[in-house]
Amino acid sequence: MTKNSKRIVKALDGIDRKKLYGLSEAVKLVQERATAKFDETIEIAMNLGVDPRHSDQMVRGVANLPNGTGRDVRVAVFAKDAKADEAKSAGADLVGAEELVEQVQKGEINFDRCIATPDMMPLVGRLGKVLGPRGLMPNPKVGTVTMDVAAAVKSSKGGAVEFRVEKAGIIHAGVGKASFDGKAIEENIRAFADAVIKAKPSGVKGNFLKRIAVTSTMGPGVKVDLTSLSAD
């Protein structure tokens, strides 16, 4: 059995791996152990009672974090004419049509989120094999195929986080930075969990939300008591 490093052993000190902690305490424990030389991301992992192999149990959507993610999100918008101007005015990093498609086809993907107007989707559809595996393909279900490109850009820049359940029924997402105020992280986690719960497929029976844990980029995970998510 591989031994944990001294850093991990020190980080685990004071954490009961079997205990369910209230959200406030869990966030505090994670922040105290985020001691890397960079501003670690605070992450959430949610185990859901779904089987994503069934199309009626796929969980995906977007959560708007009230305190942002702490990341500088680069946004690309596929649009023309007036809509392209709107996207630029809203702060989009890349805006274009055919020329932007050519860039992506060459492997130049200098963005973290992709938005498109509906009329551009036949063109953007050619990029499915490139953008799809990276989770960047625009989709109307998460608000990235829209005529309101300005609102979509501002949302993406301001803290919108897309989520999609993985094969094992788990959703992972970054919900802030270790440097955030603890209350801000708690608010983001509650907003994220609420968005996931609202995305519950109608065909899912039994417990939808099974387990939640929070961690930092380099730190240990801390299990969260689900009842504490609804606390004031």
State residue 100's pLDDT score.
96
Percentage, residues of the chain above pLDDT 70 = 93
Instruction: Give me the DSSP letters along the chain.
Output: -PPPPHHHHHHHTT--TTPPBPHHHHHHHHHHT--SSS-PEEEEEEEES--TTSGGG--EEEEE-TT--SS---EEEE--HHHHHHHHHHT-SEEESHHHHHHHHTT----SEEEE-GGGHHHHGGGHHHHGGGT----GGGT-B-S-HHHHHHHHHHTEEEEE--TTSEEEEEEEETTS-HHHHHHHHHHHHHHHHHT--TT--S-SEEEEEEEETTS--EEB-GGGGG--
Tell me how long the chain is.
Answer: 232
Q: Convert the pLDDT of each residue in 10-67 to its tens digit.
A: 666 668 888 999 999 999 999 999 989 999 999 999 999 998 888 888 898 999 999 9
- Whole-angstrom Cα distance, residue 117 to residue 101? 14
Q: Using alpha carbons only, what angle is made at residue 159 by residues 229 and 11, rounded to the nearest 5 degrees?
A: 55
The model's pTM is 0.79
- Whole-angstrom Cα distance, residue 197 to residue 142? 15
pLDDT band at 205 (very low <50, low <70, confident <90, very high): confident
Domains, the chain: 15-69+160-230 (3.30.190.20), 75-158 (3.40.50.790)
